[in-house]
Amino acid sequence: MAIKSSDISSTGTSLSNENVTLLDGQNGVSFEIPLGNFILDAEYARDGQDLVLSDSHGREVVVDGYYTFDPLPSLTNELGASVNGSFVAKLAGPGQIAQAGTTNSSLGEPVGAIETIEGTATVRHTDGTSEPLLIGDEIYKDDVIETGGDGALGILMADGSVVGVGPGSRMTIDNFVYDASSNDGSLGLSFLKGAVSFVSGKIAKNDYDDVDIKVPYGSIGIRGTEFVVDIAEDGTATVSVIQGAVATTVGAAEVVLEPGDLVSLSASGLSTVETISVEAIRARYSKVLDAQKKTQVIKDGREEEGGGEDPAAGTNSDGQPVGDPESTPDDNNPGNNDASNNTDNTQVDLPPQLLAVEVNLNTEIVGNEDVSAQLTDVALSGSIVVTEVPSSDPPPTPDPSFDFTGTDIDDPFTGGPTDDVISGEGGNDTLAGEDGDDSVTGGEGNDSLSGGGGDDTVDGGTGNDTMEGGKGSVDILLGGSGDDLIYGDHKIDLDPTTGDDDTLDGEAGADSLYGGGGDDVLLGGEDNDLLHGGSGSDALDGGSGHDIAKYDGAASDYVISSFAGGFDVTETTTGEVDTLENIEQILFSDGTISLVTFDLSGTDTVAEGSTVSYTVTLNGATLLAGQTASVTLGVTDGTTTGADYTALLTALGMAAAATSGITLAGSTLTFDDTVSSISFDMDATADGIAEGSESFTVTLDGSSSSSGVLAAIDESSDDVLTTITDGDAIEFSITGDASVAEGSSANYLISYSGTLQAGETVSVIVDIADDGTVPADREAFLTALGTAVGGTSGVELSGNELVFDHTANSLSFSLDALTDAIVEGPESFTIGLSGDDAPNVATSIDVANSSVGTTITDGSASGAVWTLVENADPVQEGDPASYTIEYTGISLTSGHSVSLDLALIAGTADAADFVESLSQDLTDAAALVTGVSVSGTTVTLSDAAATSFTFTLPVLVDGLSEGSESFSIQISNPQVDGGSNGSISGPASVTTQLVDSAADIIT
């Protein structure tokens, strides 16, 4: 099966050697023809056992042996739109047209008739005959009905169903079975393009499931009475419900629509349901609904007259319903008795002061009278104007401008020399603004519009319009919907090198835009457009669809270069430069060049150990069979090295091997006509090295193409910068001694975990906080750090910030606790770590090991010496016992103290022998000495001047003859504040003898 083309096509395209793909899916065998909407628009023909498809662009597809299949396969495109085999057979016909004189009896029973028609429409019967459709023509099962761009018609089916067919439509009646006695039957329709409306008849009312409508991407089931189907050029069908309900199906998905709902059936399935007003639907599809409404009125009229619902029943030879009263004139439909001047053949009795005349609206003179002042209020019917005949008084002065609104028929009008507002409304109108800044609107119908001189706005509206901006003006020309011809200057231009800077916008439809002279802006809008800038430096934007820029010279007369988003075309002789955007082909006098661009997309951020994806896309024209386009890729390291990601060639090789239509040579990808994109993956290596975020750039470095194709790189999408986020971090910690004695050294270790990449550095801030110490109690901290750094390679000190390179991951240092010969007790300080992330490496601090607290134990405490002295021994009852505690050694400093515990050991004496308790005696004595305090039996010295303390124990005379007794004073637990121990010199206790008083001695 091959796609072929004529030797010379309208676009210069060659489609030879293209393969049609034979598919065998769940729905049976089908042929895929990868040419977009070609299968929806093409002309079908049978040539023996082969199927031949062709279109207006000169493309031809021959499916060899198509008619050898049973049943006939469907035709699909690459998007999934489908034309089933039975419809293909009807579109192609039998291959041999019936002989002249064949009667309609061979077509079977008629299933409906044409009741209303506007413009052109044709029907092809199953015998291969084709004919234009007229009112009253009968329609048969399997007929293919097509309307022109200006065509619309209404069909009344035998069961009372009404089908409205809009402009540019193609449909067939697949099936019609109807039993009038029971209202049983079935109805099947297929639509390929255009807009159709449907009002259900008795078949649907009897059983909704008996009506089935097929569209390119799905089907529609009738669940109601009135709806519209609008099929776009790509086969997307939009269903809008006016009354009742409709079930839409694509594959296994189904959506039921209610009034006001609309949904699209497309390559991507069913769209989201949108809801608008029923009035908006009627306004949107007024053309097709008008044909439907007229047919419905005819049907209702017959029912009222008892004529039933039989199509074409009660019509005369002109196709008009029999018995319809003749039209009568009213204010909006005046006429006369002259049929040659009155196409409606209506008549009206005119008052004597009114005159009906035929007027050429290109002039302001009627019957030798100037009626320009009345043209804004005239009533028109065809080319008939009813106007009051002026008296013999001088004619009124004409208005300086025209405001003209036409009717639904074909209106000619030419404006005056000033600023006119001209609207053709319906019909195929011829409107000219002439001089002045005019606004010319064609409305519906196929109009011929000319702005003339002045800065004009010309809007073609719906229909296939021809528009001219005129010279001597800067014009805005809007094509509206329909396939329009738009000229910035004049259609026939005697001097194409001169002109004005016009704006031409084709809007919807397949338009042809000719800028003429001047620097023009040409906007193709929707669909497939032809843009010809003419002289001057023009801006051409094709919009959506497959658009062609046309140049009069040969390709060698121009230089084509690319820029971000489009191409520049420079004429070598004049230096004029056109900018082209959204243009798929350039048509020169000696051939066609297809324009394609490459772009690159991909992920911009990826974590180590993950995958990043990139896509190279070929945009612009669809390559033809045998054509290729190539692009070369490269990769540039930013902060990465090649070891941090999958090699580019490896990634491209794997992707090319898995993608049909792509070949790889070195780092150059070549696309053939079957493929438009390729995706490839690169892995970001998890290397376990702390290195911070890294980056590299994948680039499109160059392009090339085969003959007939110009490939360029879209400069706005020619590279992707990808950043690899590091999964590895550096964590700092510190360990060290919890205590150190005065005169010794405390040792510490600062280190980090993880591996640092060569060339990277990390840092940490080290601080010391004195708790109970003063700087004089320890070595200067920064001095200690500096000494350690000086002996360690790979570590530097800046202030209190340690900087490590990849060769060092730790630093050991010592801090001396100084001996100050001061009694002061334990002291403490804390060394801690802090810091933020390095510029390129993520760093953190181990919370559990972020600091070390160290206590200095006081080495001077051993110099705190206590001595206990007994002042009298023995002691007689009634005399006091006296003792002195002496403190010698290191002097006390302010804020520090020493203490000593005392105890009274009664021995053979008892408490009754003493006047007071030891605690009281100590307290009484301390009150007399500065720097001495007593708590219980603990004596504390807190002043350097307090070096001794004397206290007495008064002894009672008990009057007993008891002999000698003894007791002891004991000292213990010498302390320096903070917990250090002092020492005791000499005995820790003394024993005192207590003798009776003289009175108690028995002689």
Confidence of residue 814 (pLDDT cuts 50, 70, 90): very high
Given CA atoms 393, 395, 397, 402 in this order, what sign does their dihedral have?
positive
Of residues 129, 110, 106, 132, the one with CA closest to residue 121: 132
Secondary structure of residue 95 in the 3-state scheme: coil
Query: What is the Cβ-side half-sphere exposure of residue 38, based on CA atoms within 13 angstroms?
Result: 23
Q: Cβ atoms within 10 A of the Cβ of 911, count?
A: 8
Token pair for 480: 């509206």
Q: Cβ atoms within 10 A of the Cβ of 826, count?
A: 19
Is 845 in contact with 964 (CB distance < 8 Å)?
no
Rounded Cα–Cα distance for residues 594 and 10 (Å): 14
For 951, list phi and psi in degrees, rounded to 5.
Answer: -140, 160
Which pLDDT tens digit goes with each residue over 89-103? 999 988 765 554 455
Token pair for 78: 């690459």
Q: Cβ atoms within 10 A of the Cβ of 337, count?
A: 12
Confidence of residue 963 (pLDDT cuts 50, 70, 90): confident
Q: Cβ atoms within 10 A of the Cβ of 876, count?
A: 14
Of residues 253, 255, 237, 236, the one with CA closest to residue 245: 255
% of the chain beyond a pLDDT of 90: 36
Q: Given this model, what pLDDT does residue 513 score?
A: 75
Token pair for 33: 């023809």
**Torsion angle, alpha carbons of 854, 855, 860, 861, to 10:** -160
Strand locations in 119-245 (E):
121-124, 130-132, 138-140, 144-147, 152-157, 162-165, 170-179, 184-199, 211-215, 218-222, 226-231, 237-243
On the question of a common fold for 104-305 and 730-857, the answer reads no
Token pair for 943: 């002043």
**148-153-155 Cα angle (round to 5):** 135
Which of 272-286, 847-861, 988-1002 has the highest mean predicted lDDT (pLDDT)?
Answer: 272-286
Instruction: Report CA-CA distances (Å) from 720 to 422, 605, 632, 723.
Output: 53, 10, 14, 10
Which residue's entry shows tokens 């299949």? 69
Across 241-270, average pLDDT: 91
Which residue's entry shows tokens 């409205």? 164
Q: Given this model, what pLDDT does residue 475 score?
A: 63
| pLDDT beyond 80 at 429 | no
**665-669-673 Cα angle (round to 5):** 120
Rounded Cα–Cα distance for residues 950 and 822 (Å): 25
Terminal Cα-to-Cα distance of the chain (whole angstroms): 158
More confidently predicted of 162 and 755: 162
Which of 59-68, 435-444, 793-802, 942-951 has the highest mean predicted lDDT (pLDDT)?
Answer: 793-802
Which residue's entry shows tokens 């290729």? 628
User: The pTM is what?
Assistant: 0.41
Secondary structure of residue 805 in the 3-state scheme: strand
**691-695-698 Cα angle (round to 5):** 150
Rounded Cα–Cα distance for residues 676 and 615 (Å): 10
Is 184 in contact with 75 (CB distance < 8 Å)?
no
Q: Given this model, what pLDDT does residue 668 score?
A: 97
Instruction: Count Cβ atoms within 10 A of the Cβ of residue 646 and give its class: 0-12 exposed, 13-18 middle, 19 or more buried.
Output: middle
Which residue's entry shows tokens 């009506």? 211
Which pLDDT tens digit goes with each residue over 559-608? 998 887 789 999 988 888 988 888 988 989 888 899 999 999 998 998 88
Confidence of residue 540 (pLDDT cuts 50, 70, 90): confident
Q: Cβ atoms within 10 A of the Cβ of 885, count?
A: 22
**Torsion angle, alpha carbons of 922, 924, 925, 931, to 10:** 90
**778-780-785 Cα angle (round to 5):** 115
Secondary structure of residue 56 in the 3-state scheme: coil
Which pLDDT tens digit goes with each residue over 341-377? 443 433 334 343 333 333 333 444 434 444 444 333 3
Could you tell me where the DSSP H helices lie in 861-928?
918-926
Rounded Cα–Cα distance for residues 55 and 45 (Å): 12
Is 295 in contact with 157 (CB distance < 8 Å)?
no
Instruction: Report CA-CA distances (Å) from 536 to 494, 518, 561.
Output: 16, 5, 18
Rounded Cα–Cα distance for residues 850 and 863 (Å): 37
| pLDDT beyond 60 at 847 | yes
Q: Given this model, what pLDDT does residue 563 score?
A: 83
More confidently predicted of 388 and 849: 849
Rounded Cα–Cα distance for residues 438 and 431 (Å): 11
> Which of 198-207, 567-576, 595-604, 816-825 comes out lowest in average pLDDT?
816-825
Could you say which architecture CATH assigns to the domain 730-857?
Sandwich (2.60)
Rounded Cα–Cα distance for residues 763 and 732 (Å): 9
Secondary structure of residue 224 in the 3-state scheme: coil
* CATH, range 596-725: 2.60.40.2030
> Which of 72-86, 171-185, 192-206, 295-309 comes out lowest in average pLDDT?
295-309
Confidence of residue 908 (pLDDT cuts 50, 70, 90): confident
Q: Given this model, what pLDDT does residue 333 score?
A: 40
In sequence order, which residues have a C-beta less than 8 Å from that of residue 542 and are 6 or more positions away? 524, 529, 531, 548, 549, 580, 581, 582, 583, 584
Rounded Cα–Cα distance for residues 737 and 259 (Å): 85
Is 199 in contact with 298 (CB distance < 8 Å)?
no
Token pair for 80: 């999934």
| pLDDT beyond 70 at 834 | yes
Q: Given this model, what pLDDT does residue 388 score?
A: 39
Secondary structure of residue 358 in the 3-state scheme: strand
Q: Given this model, what pLDDT does residue 773 score?
A: 72
> Which of 380-384, 575-579, 673-677 comes out lowest in average pLDDT?
380-384
Token pair for 340: 């040659």
Could you tell me where the DSSP H helices lie in 141-223?
202-206
Single-letter amino acid code for the residue at 924: D
Question: What's the topology of domain 861-1000?
Answer: Immunoglobulin-like (2.60.40)
Token pair for 802: 């340690």
Q: Cβ atoms within 10 A of the Cβ of 515, count?
A: 32
Rounded Cα–Cα distance for residues 72 and 298 (Å): 39
Which pLDDT tens digit goes with each residue over 687-717? 777 766 788 999 999 999 999 999 999 988 9
More confidently predicted of 384 and 517: 517
> Which of 55-69, 95-109, 323-337, 586-600 comes out lowest in average pLDDT?
323-337
Rounded Cα–Cα distance for residues 542 and 523 (Å): 6
Token pair for 218: 């799905």
Q: Given this model, what pLDDT does residue 637 score?
A: 87
Query: What is the Cβ-side half-sphere exposure of residue 358, based on CA atoms within 13 angstroms?
Result: 9
| pLDDT beyond 60 at 337 | no
Tell me how many helices (H) and strands (E) the chain has: 8, 85
Rounded Cα–Cα distance for residues 408 and 381 (Å): 9
**Torsion angle, alpha carbons of 726, 731, 732, 736, to 10:** -160
What residue ranges do the domains of the chain occupy? 2-92, 104-305, 335-399, 414-550, 596-725, 730-857, 861-1000
Instruction: Report CA-CA distances (Å) from 237 to 32, 142, 254, 266.
Output: 20, 22, 14, 7
Across 429-454, average pLDDT: 61
Rounded Cα–Cα distance for residues 948 and 885 (Å): 5
* CATH, range 104-305: 2.60.120.1440
Is 580 in contact with 600 (CB distance < 8 Å)?
no
Of residues 831, 815, 836, the one with CA closest to residue 764: 836
